[in-house]
Structure 1
Amino acid sequence: MKVLKFGGSSVDTPESILNVKNIVEATARPAVVVVSALGGVTDQLIAASRMAAAGDSAYSESVDSLMERHHKMVNAVVEPRRRPQLLENLDHLLTDLRSILHGVFLIQDLTPKTADAIVAYGERLSSLITAALLDNACHVDSLDVVCTRVQNSKTLVDFDLTNRRIVEHFGKHPGLFVCGGFIAKDAETGRITNLGRGGSDYTASIIAAALNAEALEIWTDVDGFMTADPRVIPTAYTIPQLSYNEAMELCNFGAKVVYPPTIYPVCTKNIPIYVKNTFHPSHAGSVISSDMSLTANGESTFTAPICGISSVNRMSVVTVSGPTMVGVIGVNRRIFACLAQNGISVFMVVQTSSETSTSLCITPEDGQKACKVLDAEFAVEIEDGAMNKAQLEEGLATVAVVGENMKRTPGIAGKLFSVLGRNGISVSAIGQGSFEMNISFVIQQEMLSKALNVLHNSFFLSEYQDVNVFVCGTGNVGGSLLQQIAAQRERLMKERRLRINLVGVSGRSQSVYHPEGIDAAHYKEAMQNGEPGGINHMVERIVEMNSFNSVFVDCTASENVARQYETLLSHNVSIVAANKAAASSDFDRYKLLKDTARERGVKYLFETNVGAGLPIINTINDLTGSGDKVLRIEAVVSGTLNFVFNALSADIPLSKAVRMAQEQGYSEPDPRVDLSGKDVIRKLTILARESGYRVNMEDIEAHLFIPNSLFEGSLEEFWEKLPGLDAEFEARRQRLEAEGKCLRFVATWADGKGEVGLREIDQTHPFYHLEGSNNIISLTTSRYHDYPMLIKGYGAGAEVTAAGVFADIMRCANF
């Protein structure tokens, strides 16, 4: 015996109800089919009853519409020989409905009893149509089977009587039965009642339990329970298997797949629930059972620490507080009794261990009312100053992380709140039961989407770990980075399960943003029809988009861009900077940025500020982080200047070597930027700071080899004057060549002081054999004292710099 329940969407159209027919015909007998009203009919009946109660004669048009819709359904799907009797039965019910509504219209009063009777017509009509559609099906009126009783003003199922009637109606002979869900009848008064919205699931569960069915199948319009709401998280997918407890927790916290009371009757009989899609019947769906090895299609079980994330996207918190609550027995009893007497439901409770406050999560509609009745309940205590007035906080949402495996996995709560904090999501209240199966927390409503995405991403419910990247600057470095992202994206997804999502790109005049991602290979085309460029607009869009795991990548040399770092970090956006302006700015600002990143739990990385793609800053951080101390730094960190001095020869004077550096892209368009040594000063300042020293650029002593007069005037004048130095440098070159030496522009930090300048290097020095535009750095530390650590390699060029930036982006992904 199987019990199959089909929801309103499954019997909404002729096409969908024919799917129901195919599914039922493929099911072995005996079987019971439980159906909801046609999609939208229950809401239409409620609306019609309210119109009638308000004296609006338009209720009659609603009845006409219902009659037309049900007639069309019959004519579309039921065999002609069965139609006359069926239409007569339907019209009889609709005539009764019209009469009831007319009575409501005349007296303009809608009692609960009448409202229940009206809303029952949806299932009474749909079950007749479904029974006529199926071959050899026997229609059973649920009003004759499901019985209720009133207890403490609540309508409850009378299980003893209901179970007997179910066995009488369905258990006598094997066959196919059809009945409506949701509706019931009071055992004593005979009045029509119902089991609540979603009650058709409950009806099916009650029948399955009474008949000891082998399975309960819930057929709906989704592929089963999802790891999260797919409308919020497009990557959410079906959970193949859940325990009864997991399903109950998810249902109670916003997952609308199954009506929560449905689970209990079948759970006590250990009957599995299969949740499947009427419109996708081949999909395995989800199975809810006590056997954690059971899946709907025989595949391996779901082993992630959590099985799913559910949420209530609108809620309020009412807090009752005061010193008189400490250690006083009965305060919470008064709180909950007061709320219950006023019909206010509480779905989450949080109390401080000091017992000075109790916070109650309720619907926004009940917020003001709850405060009013609680203030009345504790009026005497409030007057005496022993308690505070109830406080209401609105605009909140609640998230529940659910999973049986959490109780066997240490660190889940720590990881959960760590990842929320890193993404700038503050938690207002936390609730967790001793079963460790549900961690619930309250956040601001505007943060709900971000919270769901980051949790889904972080707890292995997503196929990939996402990093949302904003690139500022599309010049040589930025353009090369975007090419590398395009080339490496698929490999990273395949090999590391990491997805680099390019969600924003901005240049000076144009930009483009898309939460779902931009094709890095075609970013130029996307920008042409995009938005205004510039850093101010970009920061506004980043804050507005509020993406999780966000990384801002600065591929410019702009001071204006660097000034926005603090704003971005304060919004929990990690920063990867090829731009040296911030890291070499005033020390207090540098420290502020570092501290802000640390406090916010995000990254501020600038490895490429020194040595392009060489692992210099990370190496220093590893050394100092492990307790070592940097005592001395010697470095050649200008690829441009190293190229120039390596190019000098009898045939290539200084002026030509500088021109070659510019033409081959090693120098800035104005090579005076490199020749001034300012770039080297910036880099030495950064290295000293990362080594633990407080230093500003002004503290670095500069020994320049170009007269100040060449830095004045236009670039054309510079090129005209530069050959005047050729003879001097050629003479010096010849002397050094004879002595077995060469020129290197060296940055030095020692004894707490720094300097940069041209030095003559002999062949015993490691800097002597430094080719092309390569960089080299020598670190003398407490551990590497007698034999300094050397880092050497290609230290200039857009591609290697972009590669270093890419590596920093990867570090942001590896928290």
Structure 2
Amino acid sequence: MTQESIVLENEFAVGNTTENKLAKQAIHVHKFGGSSLATAECIKRVLEIIRQHCQLNDIVVVSANGKTTDALFALYTQAETLQAEKLNADLSNESEAAQIATLSAELVQSVALLTQQQEQLISELLNENNANTISHLLRKDIEILTTWLSGDLALHHNDILALGEVWSARLLSALLNEQICPSNSIDAREFLVIENEQNCLVDYAISAAQLRQQRQFGKLAVITGYIAKDNRGHNCTLGRNGSDYSATIIAALVAARTVTLWTDVNGIYSADPRVVPNARKLHRLPNGVAKELGRLGNPVLHAKTLLPLVNPLSEHHTHLHVASSFDPQVVGTEIGKFGQIAKQELSVTYLNDLLIAHSESFIGESLLAAKAEFAPICLDEEQGYIVITQAQQKSLSQWLASHDTEVTFKPVSIIATVGHRVAEHGDIRARFKRSLKTAQPLCLANGENNHSLIAVLPEPCSIELLNNVHHDMTKDARHIGVVVAGLGNIGQRFLELLPAQLNRISLLENVHLVGLLSSKKALINNDGIDVNQALTMFEQSAHEYTNEQLLAWLSNHPYDELIVVDITPCEQFSLLYQDFFEQGIHVIGANKWAASSSSEKYQKLIDTAAANHSMWLGNTTVGAGLPINYAIKDLRQSGDEITEISGIFSGTLSWIFQTYDASVPFSTLLLDALAQGITEPDPREDLSGRDVQRKLLILARKAGFELDLSDITCQNLVPESLQGLSTQEFLAQASQLDSYFKEAFESANAKASCIRYVARLQCVEDDNNATNAVAKVKAKVSLEVLPRSDAFATLTPCDNIFKIESRWYQDNALIIRGPGAGRDVTAGGLHSDLVNMCQQLAHKQNKVTIKGINE
């Protein structure tokens, strides 16, 4: 379901009350393939999917269980062979009679095996009463099947093949009635009318009217896929992938909002993942591109399936999803109408065992007739050729003979790059040609609606060539969505810098701003937010949201990667990090709360992020844009061991104590800093030392020390008498601070020293047990008296300074100094993290995990 706004509709699953089940009128079609229904365990998974994702007015379409249709076709072939042998056999000949008896016994055995497989599913899934009822119906079908197999096979060919879907729908409906909700099974032959089996053109008006009569109010309909009736009333099938086609037809008949194909793969890939290990999932595909992919050999999509997505009755557009019933929590691929980001997707496909046919009839008006008759893979009027399947050779030869023209055939294959209007992009065409330089293609053609570039090859397309072309065409295709949370001074500056960054940094080429969050409102757009108008668009279109709604969208985002940039100061938003990491979402945080949470919570975040391959960067949590986090990480990764971290970590306290000289009361200076925006709205947040305490904890953990806030002694510079007051009351009584700081300044000054608020972490040896010295950590943040020559004493107001001592930096400490606050440097630090993260993501290899692809 496309979600262009964070305001998500309520979903009422079939397990809820009847009122809720019927409250939402939008219809969704869910189709389950044979592999999804192959075993009792698979069917139980399907049952849970229906419980979680369906409502009573939805429709479920089913294939036959597992390989049941293959088994029925095998029975038909066995019976056909038996009848042919009987027709030609001399039953008086003992050997021939024995052969007939063997074939008859094998057919009986095959019927018995199929019956046993169905009985096993019934007995494993249903209670005794329901099992008896469904088994009785099965046995009656088997009796009829046995009659058909011994009678006019051609007459009952489609009747035999239809049984698998009938059994599957009947079993699932009975199971739903027993465990989930009211349900009825519907045989699609009761309503679905097509012109004939060859073209499968649907009579939508009649079929829609008859389906309305079959559906029962208050019951979840389970409908057979694959089967229908023609306009003469004969039973027929819809051919390869017929159940998928049934699902999209039915969706068109009821104007469904979505169709979900629950199968054994979790989406559509940029190439066949069985042979291209680096294929990436395509999260969203425009309808036209999907149809072209299906036409040109995609192993999951088929062009016929996609035809009904635009309803011929109403021009209603239905979105198609491909998802895995084996991994239902994994977001699949959505096919429908999308904006520019989805239109940038590229994929590569191929087809072997083709023929290129050259003839004079493929020049001029007769080419149009050939195109209508044979729907060739590609064609070129100037060169007079069409490319067809080998199965079409005989019919094409006959057709050309009637035109009294000659034809030459040559075996070929094709490899194609598919994307929205891709043939109109000269740079993509040039890149495609370069990728084929060793293959020496016979020709290059444009595909349907210019959605593909097709190269005709003189040899079968090799796996090596496919992988090379796929790499060349899709290496820059990873799409990264960015959600910015926090639109205050720094958040606004981050957004102001973003347009230039996207244009300047090649690593950000496929980065898209897709979400903006304040504490109360959100703007989410899957098709991207114009970075030049982001704040204006937020003001115009943002809606109130809840965390549950936000997480619901984030769990279904249509990007290869999603990054949340947290520029909020609040603990509440940091509590969502656990959910983000569980969903594989990356976080860039200026927010200090998560990184300074309890050891248990912090370690859980680290472990969850690692387990789900999420990255968490927070260079701006300490030191704004200064590279202190990078330095500590580099030292540790290089094998160094940090023994001391110290410095002035607060830009506010840096300014205050670099400026304070007792010439004016401390409270006057404090109020001046508040007026300039240097302090927090409540200056006690700065004077309490808690911010510095959290920063020291963050750095300590980065350096490998296992500490909690309680392990860091913190000197609160606010007297206890002022700590419980309101902000206004505190400001009115701030003069109570004056005598303490004046005395501290004058005492230090008398010693040629100064006062500074310093953070210190030191490793010291606990040698109480002299034979086994153990390293201990002492950490505190407090007001210190320092010589005026000390590195911490001579800062530019608002600067931070960090001193690191280690095994490598013992005699001459590593010092990092610079602005520790400010919207520009902090926003710049966030952009540094964004580039760093995108650089790491560019080298990330997503392992393709699939259960299989239907053959």
State the AA in 1 paired with 2:522: S
Which of 707, 712, 730 is 1:700 aligned to? Answer: 712
SS at match of 2:533: helix
- Work out which structure has the larger RCO, using CA pairs closer than 8 Å and 6 or more positions apart in sequence: 2
Is it true that 1:774 corresponds to 2:799 in the alignment?
A: yes
Structure 2 match to 1:274? 444
Give the 3 Å change call, closer, same or farther, for CA 807–760 of structure 1 in structure 2: same
Matches of residues 117-132 of structure 1 in structure 2 within 5 Å?
none
Q: Deviations over 1:636-673 (max 9, x none)?
A: 00111111111212433211221122222222111101
Q: Say whether residues 1:761 and 2:786 are aligned partners.
A: yes
Tell me, in whole angstroms, the C-alpha distance in 2 between the residues paired with 1:213 and 1:583.
68
1:797 & 1:597 partners in 2: Cα distance? 30
The alignment status of 1:525 with 2:525, answered yes or no, reads no
The answer to whether residue 504 in structure 2 is matched with residue 491 in structure 1 is yes
Equivalent-residue separation in structure 2 for 1:604 and 1:460 (angstroms): 30
Aligned to 2:757: 745
Residue 370 of structure 2: aligned partner: 180
Structure 2 counterpart of 1:800: 825
Q: Counterpart of 2:532 in 1: which secondary structure? A: helix
**Equivalent residues of 1:634, 1:747 under 8 A apart:** yes
Q: After the TM superposition, which of the residue ranges 747-756 and 479-488 deviates more from structure 2?
A: 479-488
TM-score when scaled to structure 1? 0.51
Q: CA deviation at 1:197?
A: 11
SS at match of 1:634: strand
Structure 2 counterparts to residues 556-705 of structure 1, below 5 A: 556-705=568-717
- Alpha-carbon offset, residue 53 of structure 1: 13
Determine the C-alpha separation between the residues in 2 that align with 1:241 and 1:484: 32
Change (3 A) 1:176 1:606: closer
- Equivalent residues of 1:638, 1:775 under 8 A apart: yes
Q: What's the offset of the Cα at 1:284?
A: 11
Q: Secondary structure, in 3 states, of the residue corresponding to 1:814?
A: helix
Distance in 1 (CA, whole Å) between partners of 2:716 and 2:530 is: 46
* Structure 1: distance between partners of 2:472 and 2:364: 46
Residue identity matched to 1:687: L
Q: Find the aligned partners of 1:778 and 1:53 in 2 and give their Cα distance.
A: 76
CA distance in 2, matches of 1:740, 1:204: 105
1:720 shift after superposition: 2.5
Corresponding residue to 1:288 among 442, 453, 456: 456
Residue 227 of structure 1 aligns to which amino acid in structure 2?
Answer: T
- Segments of structure 1 that go 5 or more residues without pairing to the other structure are 1-45, 60-103, 113-158, 185-194, 219-223, 248-266, 293-306, 308-400, 408-436, 438-455
Tell me how far 1:181 sits from its aligned partner. 6.2
Deviations 1:447-492 (A, max 9, x none): xxxxxxxxx8x97626565431111111122122111213422222
1:319-468 matched pairs, under 5 angstroms: 404=465, 406=467, 461=474, 466-468=479-481
- Alignment CA distance shift 1:740-1:107 (3 Å): closer
Code of the aligned partner of 1:289: L
Q: Where does 1:254-273 land on structure 2 (aligned, <5 Å)?
A: 272-273=442-443
Query: Would the aligned equivalents of 2:501 and 2:508 in 1 still touch at CA under 8 Å?
Result: no
Aligned residues of 1:779 and 1:788 also touching (Cα < 8 A): yes
Deviations 1:222-269 (A, max 9, x none): xx97534549999998555879x999xxxxxxxxxxxxxxxxxxx9xx
Aligned length: 476
Check 1:242–1:766 CA distance in 2 against 1; reply closer, same or farther (3 A cut): closer
Verify the 8 A CA contact 1:639 1:773 in the aligned structure 2: yes
- Please give the secondary structure, in 1, of the residue aligned with 2:581: helix
CA distance in 2, matches of 1:534, 1:53: 47
Helix, strand or coil: the match of 1:227? strand
- Flag the 1:111–1:516 CA change in 2: closer, same or farther, 3 A: closer
Match of 1:95 in 2: none
Q: Distance in 1 between matches of 2:490 and 2:830?
A: 9
Which of 187, 195, 209 is residue 48 of structure 1 equivalent to? 195
Superposed displacement of residue 689, structure 1 = 0.9
Instruction: Tell me what 2:748 maps to.
Output: 736
Matched position secondary structure for 1:567: helix
1:300-315 aligned within 5 A: none
Q: 1:53 to 1:722 in 2, by over 3 A?
A: closer
Percent of aligned pairs with the same residue? Answer: 27
The letter of the residue matching 1:758 is L
Contact 1:565 1:593 in 2 (8 A): yes
Q: 1:742 to 1:290 in 2, by over 3 A?
A: farther
**1:521-553 deviations in whole A, cap 9, x for unaligned?**
322332232332454432222112242211011
Deviations 1:403-432, CA, capped at 9 Å, x for gaps = 51747xxxxxxxxxxxxxxxxxxxxxxxxx
Give the 3 Å change call, closer, same or farther, for CA 810–205 of structure 1 in structure 2. Answer: farther
Paired residues of 1:226 and 1:236 also in contact (CA < 8 A): no
Match for residue 784 of structure 1 among 809, 827, 839: 809
Residue 472 of structure 1 is aligned with which of 485, 500, 506?
Answer: 485
Deviation readout 1:371-394 (Å, 9 max, x if unpaired): xxxxxxxxxxxxxxxxxxxxxxxx
Label 1:520 to 1:276 Cα distance change in 2 as closer, same or farther (>3 A).
Answer: closer
State how far apart, in whole Å, the 2-side matches of 1:459 and 1:579 are: 39
Name which of structure 1's ranges 646-655 and 747-756 shifts more when overlaid on structure 2. Answer: 646-655
Question: How far off its partner does 1:572 sit?
Answer: 0.6
- 8 A Cα contact 2:486 2:517, kept in partner: yes
Name the CA distance, whole Å, in 2 between partners of 1:701 and 1:107. 86
AA matched with 2:195: A
Is the Cα contact below 8 Å between 2:418 and 2:453 reproduced in 1? no
Looking at structure 1, the residues matched to 526 and 590 of structure 2 have their Cα atoms a distance apart, in angstroms, of 24
Root mean square deviation of aligned Cα: 4.9
Q: Deviations over 1:667-706 (max 9, x none)?
A: 2111101100000110111111111111000111123333
Per the alignment, do residues 732 and 229 of structure 1 end up closer, same or farther by CA in structure 2, a change over 3 Å counting?
A: same
**1:342 maps to what in 2?**
none
* Partner Cα distance (2:515, 2:655) in 1: 36
Paired residue for 1:296? Answer: none
Q: Distance in 2 between matches of 1:600 and 1:668?
A: 36
SS of 2:515's equivalent in the other structure is strand
**For residues 232 and 690 of structure 1, do their structure 2 counterparts lie closer, same or farther at Cα, with a shift above 3 Å needed?**
farther
Distance 2:507 2:826 in 1: 23
What SS does the corresponding residue of 2:417 show, helix, strand or coil?
coil
Native 8 Å contact 2:479 2:561 kept in 1? yes
Query: 3-state DSSP class of the match of 1:736?
Result: helix
Q: CA–CA distance in 2 between the matches of 1:477 and 1:523?
A: 15
**1:314 corresponds to which residue?**
none
Q: CA distance change for structure 1 residues 623 and 47 in 2, over 3 Å: closer, same or farther? A: same
* Partner SS state of residue 511, structure 2: strand
3-state DSSP of counterpart to 1:180? helix
Q: 2:90 maps to which residue?
A: none
Distance 2:431 2:393 in 1: 22
Whether the 8 Å CA contact 1:580–1:609 is kept in 2: the answer is yes
Structure 1's 240 and 232: CA in aligned 2 closer, same or farther, altered over 3 A?
closer
**1:84-113 alpha-carbon deviations (Å, 9 max, x no partner):** xxxxxxxxxxxxxxxxxxxx988969999x
2:626–2:817 Cα contact (<8 Å) kept: yes
Q: Kindly indicate whether the alpha-carbon contact (under 8 Å) linking 1:181 and 1:199 is maintained by their aligned counterparts in 2.
A: no
Distance 1:592 1:199 in 2: 61
Task: Tell me the amino acid that sits aligned with residue 48 of structure 1.
Answer: E
Q: 1:739 deviation in Å? A: 3.3
1:585-615 deviations in Å (ceiling 9; x for gaps): 0012111212222222221111111111111
Distance 1:790 1:626, change over 3 A: same
Contact 2:422 2:452 in 1 (8 A): no
Q: Say whether 1:514 aligns with 2:525.
A: yes
The answer to whether the aligner puts 1:227 opposite 2:252 as a matched pair is no
SS at 1:727 equivalent: helix
5 Å-filtered alignment, 1:526-545, equals: 526-527=537-538, 528-545=540-557
